A and B are shown apart, each in its own frame.
With several copies, the nearest count.
Chain A
Amino acid sequence: MTGTLTSAWRSEFPGLQQLAAEGQTWLDSAATAQKPRVMLDALQHWYAGGVANVHRSQHRPGERATTAFEQARRDIANWLGCDAASSLVFTRGTTESINLLAYSLSTSFHPGDEILVGAHEHHANLLPWQQLARRKNLVLRILPLDAAGALDMPAALAMLGPRSRLLAVSPLSNVLGHMHDLTPLLQRARELDVLSVIDGAQYAVHRQPNLAQLDADFFVCSAHKLYGPEGVGLLYAHPRRHTLLQPWQWGGEMVEHCDYQNASARPLPLGLEAGTPNTGGIIAFAATLNWLETLDRAAIEQHESALHCSLLGGLKRRGMQLLGQPDTALACFNAPGIHSADLAMLLGEQGIAVRAGQHCAMPVLDSLGLSGAVRVSLAFYNNGEDLERFFTALDAALEILA
């Protein structure tokens, strides 16, 4: 029974207790995750301890801030399995990371070059490329999905060709919940010298990345989905591609030398980090990952997978229509003959925090002929009771809307 699925980690998340006290069940973690105590404490510690700017350190508070900041960079790089901390650039989030790439790489493209993007991408991994294609007269090609709602790998491989210049794809979609093995695609991209961008916003939450092994050119994700604070994102850039990255935003910190008419940027990562960074957020994110690192990964993945099975089972038993064949973290569905907005409203009335709509992926919903869907998304702090409450509410809603 789902009720016996308990989360060993739940009590570390004060927000969940507060939500429970208000009768709310959080099943919208793919949108943003609740935060562990260690994250709150790190933020508090930073702000209560006396703040200072980084990278200007004639005084001790500045020195301490710089040390903590660069240690956070190393810790996060370690967690990602990335070779050198100097390849890790801090941004505001996945969206900014991808926009940064789309501007910063733009001199690497020639008219007619092709950008390949998965059909299931979040707007953040579609629109910046679409706009780059418009600016530079490139061709944006969409890698199709197969009948199961996964990337059609043979088709994708066949689309990679001599005109391909960049491939942008996410291993785990925020709508279809299918975990892709991108190895063959990335390998082909390397053979053809195609730039590869991995949108790891959802993926990194459910599989600890090993960037050295993945061997993509660029990898991006957001802290807030990974149990970290808001306003922090990552951009990993493989050293072999550093020289392609032109400065994008200009200002303090990132500049090496300038006069009124000329300026030169520092090398990565500083050259892409203009302005005062979100130091406290970055330190708190590193603290979050350091804590995650102490947990039993296998146990987490097993728990998440048991929750997911239970979710799928319950949806299928009730005849819900799933989008694709989700195998990880989330499921999007519709009730036959019922509008997703109606279902979502009645779930919301009952304190079930799920999401309905187009999930920032309008094109894929359009292509499935759907105006929307309800999404239930899980994290390792969820438990069987959360699912029971969800199904009880779903049954009540279905009865009213029948």
Chain B
Amino acid sequence: MTALSPAAQAMLNEFSACKGWEQRARLLLKHGQQLPALPPELRTDKQLVRGCESPVWCQPDWPDGRLQLQLDTDARLLKGLLQVLRVRLEGLTAQQLAEVDLADWYSRLGLARQLSSSRSNGLNAVYQYVLYCGGRAGADTSPGCAGSCQQAATNR
């Protein structure tokens, strides 16, 4: 399993201190605000990850072989969940990415339910999408693999 980055470790500490769903929700909202909005020109169908009831736009890049991840959505708590995903994944190589235990990550944050209900919020679909793009990153770094996201999402 891929180790946590310092940012991820810090996030884990914050969530671990939460008592109950209410504090966790407020913390999620706070982290959601730290997710930079995707520029409108990137909010296109090409970046749209299907398999989510709320649309999620996703732009992964590997500038120096390490993931840089832009994510956006309209719902505020989902933004927080995406930020949680981003903090866990950013900076990883495609290889490390594949070895992330996402279920473990969310569950350590007390957010296991949010991952398991991801048929509607699509966290898993986003991860699969990034993974897929990462796999082909050598061959093709352009954001053109949206077509297979739904496949990725439903095959999980």
Contact = CB atoms under 8 A, between A and B. Distances in A.
Interface of A: 55-58, 60, 62-63, 66-67, 84, 86, 256-257, 266-270, 339-342, 345-346, 348-350, 356-358, 371-372, 396, 400-401
Contact of A67 (B22, B54, B116): B116
B47 to A, nearest CB: 16
Contact of B54 (A56, A57, A267, A372): A372
A400 B29 contact: yes
Contacts of A256: 50, 150
Given A66-B119, A84-B155, A372-B53, A396 B77 contact: no
B121 interface: yes
Nearest to A257: B50
Contact of B53 (A267, A268, A357, A396): A357
Given A341-B77, A371-B54, A372-B54, A55 B119 contact: yes
* Residue among B29, B53, B114, B155 having the largest count of chain A Cβ atoms under 10 Å: B53
Given A356-B53, A372-B53, 5 more contacts: A256-B50, A266-B154, A267-B151, A339-B75, A401-B29
Contacts of B19: none
Contacts of A63: 113, 116-117
A162 B121 CA distance: 46
A67 B112 CA distance: 13
A396 B113 contact: no
B66 interface: no
25 contacts: A55-B119, A56-B119, A57-B117, A57-B119, A58-B117, A58-B120, A63-B116, A66-B119, A84-B155, A86-B154, A267-B151, A267-B154, A267-B155, A269-B154, A341-B74, A342-B77, A349-B113, A350-B21, A357-B53, A371-B54, A371-B55, A372-B53, A400-B22, A401-B29, A401-B76
B46 interface: no
Interface string B26-54: 10010000000000000000000010011
Nearest to A66: B119
Contacts of A267: 150-151, 154-155
A266 B77 contact: no
B78 interface: yes
A175 to B, nearest CB: 15
- Chain A CB count within 10 A is highest, among B76, B119, B151, for B119
B3 interface: no
B12 to A, nearest CB: 20
B111 to A, nearest CB: 10
Contact of B78 (A341, A348, A401): A341
A396 B113 CA distance: 19
B10 interface: no
Nearest to A345: B77
Interface string B114-128: 101101110000000
Given A267-B150, A270-B154, A339-B54, A400 B78 contact: no
